[in-house]
Structure 1
């Protein structure tokens, strides 16, 4: 089969799927992306495209997102026309993310090729991160700007033959009229490689020694240290945690930018803002900001963690939550709808009020005081992920089945196992 993947930041949500397909050596795989430093995968041809147009500064806010998406989509279509016209490639299936407009015009290039579109998020003023935290103020125009952002998924709903959402919460953000055309299946977690490791160890330069599961390690992880992922709540819980547990050491993973929502204007970003707010109430000698770390280091950090925190607003569930569950972490998480899809309080994790740093601290302290009382949570969490989100046994077969339903029988992907 000829398969075209489309994602401006290759590989995006297709990290596992595209590599698995390539490893079968049974398909020709082309990946269309803007990312010039995209990873190289054996058996995958990377094709770069550039947006045909970008909105100018000061462009009218209600049309800016669509203008950007249209320029991106036309640039992607021109790159695909070149593939077609040079006789290099005709896909049997196109699989890609609809959020930036890349998929919008691909039916004009290959009218007969079926498309599966990844629908990640539908914006609204209720039920998501916007308007959730009183510290992040909405303006009277915010609802209109959010509605305008939905022009892109609305247009792409009519382009795709099938839509895909990774969780039920994400699907249910979209209008009900979308649902019959969408299937729900996560990207998939490699539970075969993400496992607990009681022998894991990590060198902390400040201590000039390794830390292990024998140390009292509290961990927090996000792509960036920002409000959407509850970094400010976590930091406000720290003084009480450190006071109650004088041997606890805190490891924080994340960059100092903003992936979602508004970036802090304080010097040093939100981290600098929280450092200024908390001052000497935090023991900074026992607080380690590790930045964005290599994937193998991240695994070791979770494997030695005695209590891991995931404090997200209602938003797209992070891979890191499911990966940490697969590694049998004892997780304290915010009690919001997307998190409840994976965590049942007291069984696969511990849920707390996002807005209550004292409750967060108290729950972490309970775990650190009596880890044996919570020893069942990590194994239960792993079982939940294996049963519902495992890449090889759960997610991969479903994605293959959805693709095979759209292509001729003689072009189908062979099912694993």
Structure 2
């Protein structure tokens, strides 16, 4: 049987793209299990599974997530059994336990070591669910439902030989009993490709072009939702636009009714919910909703940026803030746990109280009026991205961990 590394991810390769490709390049046997829409990766034999049915109608509501996870776990078990029949016997399984696929794999591969990626361990009280009083009704059931997302993931993590969390904050979400087996390894970004560069004219959909030197505020909010501070950002704009008449705003993200958090009320999108009431105070010709854009266009916007706003509830840290830092942006972030893992106030950016709209407005006005004042913070942001969030560093840490478990992978 061929030993190697088995990757398991609902949407393989997901966060494992660079690591899996690096192992293939180093001659390691790599195969994978993923959901039916997984895009796959060259050089990796991928078995896709398809869940044949949904959760049962009479399932206890708090057990619906567990049943869905176990359904995926059972299908992943079947895929693993097929791989075993083809002669595969992984030395190490690397998986994302968040959808249940890794929960039963030890039944098929009892001798394989498991390294599981902990993206976010859910909490009830004191986390993302009850963070924002504007959208928190005090519903105890919501807190209980949040904790009920964990059972199958916890079962998988309990069997893991090692757990990898991308940031210290995400590691801190894990139960104490699991933390001693946890390493913090961020998957990283390509800091060689994503770097400061001269701003170029930026074409808008209406035919206008933003020239370099224009005061530009950028905000990336992939699902246009309050979990990433869309409401706070929106409410900070009227004062900015009134006091800095030449300022322009670029907002990147896909307009949706819901994202990671709650659904927008009345069947509307969160963009409609937050921006329509502000319409009389906003100059629509200066606030540009770019929608979902190619990565290269997002990077072009970041190179043009005078100030980049990144806010988040206590949740997963987005790649976009790291890419903004690598691009040499002046980052203005919320003083929440995830952002504190990347930004130190007045060292490599600014951290402001999440709910203080006036503080954000004032910071944006100051940035636009005196862009040179943030030069040192921009330089430090780039240095932080290179030192702490480079893809090469993340890859090296992962490969070193695999060597601890017997996988022979050359360093380069």
TM-aligned CA deviation for residue 149 of structure 1: 1.6
CA distance, structure 2, for counterparts of residue 123 and residue 48 of structure 1: 27
Whether the 8 Å CA contact 1:53–1:72 is kept in 2: the answer is no
Whether the 8 Å CA contact 2:11–2:39 is kept in 1: the answer is no
Matched, 1:244 2:243: yes
- Residue 28 (structure 1) aligns with: 29
Paired residues, number: 408
TM-score, with length taken from structure 1: 0.94
- Residue 347 (structure 2) aligns with: 347
CA distance, structure 1, for counterparts of residue 213 and residue 18 of structure 2: 33
TM-aligned CA deviation for residue 39 of structure 1: 3.6
Cα gap change, 1:35/1:304 in structure 2, threshold over 3 Å: closer, same or farther? Answer: farther
- Residue 76 (structure 2) aligns with: 76
CA distance, structure 2, for counterparts of residue 336 and residue 223 of structure 1: 19
- Residue 391 (structure 1) aligns with: 391
Whether the 8 Å CA contact 1:16–1:188 is kept in 2: the answer is no
CA distance, structure 2, for counterparts of residue 135 and residue 80 of structure 1: 45
TM-score, with length taken from structure 2: 0.95
CA distance, structure 2, for counterparts of residue 357 and residue 22 of structure 1: 48
Whether the 8 Å CA contact 2:12–2:40 is kept in 1: the answer is no
Pairwise mapping of residues 226-245 of structure 1 onto structure 2 (< 5 A)?
226-245=225-244
CA distance, structure 1, for counterparts of residue 145 and residue 251 of structure 2: 33
Pairwise mapping of residues 70-219 of structure 1 onto structure 2 (< 5 A)?
70-87=70-87, 89-137=88-136, 138-206=138-206, 208-219=207-218
Matched, 1:14 2:16: yes
Cα gap change, 1:148/1:324 in structure 2, threshold over 3 Å: closer, same or farther? Answer: same
CA distance, structure 2, for counterparts of residue 70 and residue 104 of structure 1: 8
Q: Secondary structure at the match of 1:238?
A: helix
Q: Which blocks of at least 5 consecutive residues in structure 2 are unaligned?
A: none
Q: Secondary structure at the match of 1:247?
A: coil
Cα gap change, 1:219/1:199 in structure 2, threshold over 3 Å: closer, same or farther? Answer: closer
Whether the 8 Å CA contact 1:256–1:268 is kept in 2: the answer is no
Whether the 8 Å CA contact 2:6–2:30 is kept in 1: the answer is yes
CA distance, structure 1, for counterparts of residue 174 and residue 242 of structure 2: 44
Q: Secondary structure at the match of 2:156?
A: helix
- Residue 3 (structure 1) aligns with: 5
Matched, 1:59 2:55: no
Q: Secondary structure at the match of 2:132?
A: coil
Q: Deviations over 1:65-94 (max 9, x none)?
A: 11111001001110111111233x222211
Whether the 8 Å CA contact 1:266–1:272 is kept in 2: the answer is no
- Residue 331 (structure 1) aligns with: 331
- Residue 312 (structure 1) aligns with: 312
TM-aligned CA deviation for residue 14 of structure 1: 1.3
Whether the 8 Å CA contact 1:52–1:75 is kept in 2: the answer is no
TM-aligned CA deviation for residue 46 of structure 1: 2.5
CA distance, structure 2, for counterparts of residue 242 and residue 318 of structure 1: 27
TM-aligned CA deviation for residue 57 of structure 1: 4.7
Matched, 1:286 2:286: yes
Q: Secondary structure at the match of 1:183?
A: strand
Matched, 1:303 2:303: yes
TM-aligned CA deviation for residue 315 of structure 1: 1.2
Whether the 8 Å CA contact 2:5–2:31 is kept in 1: the answer is yes
CA distance, structure 1, for counterparts of residue 242 and residue 12 of structure 2: 44
CA RMSD between the two structures = 1.6
Whether the 8 Å CA contact 1:125–1:146 is kept in 2: the answer is yes
- Residue 380 (structure 1) aligns with: 380
Q: Which blocks of at least 5 consecutive residues in structure 1 are unaligned?
A: none
CA distance, structure 1, for counterparts of residue 368 and residue 83 of structure 2: 57
CA distance, structure 1, for counterparts of residue 118 and residue 94 of structure 2: 11
Whether the 8 Å CA contact 2:17–2:41 is kept in 1: the answer is no
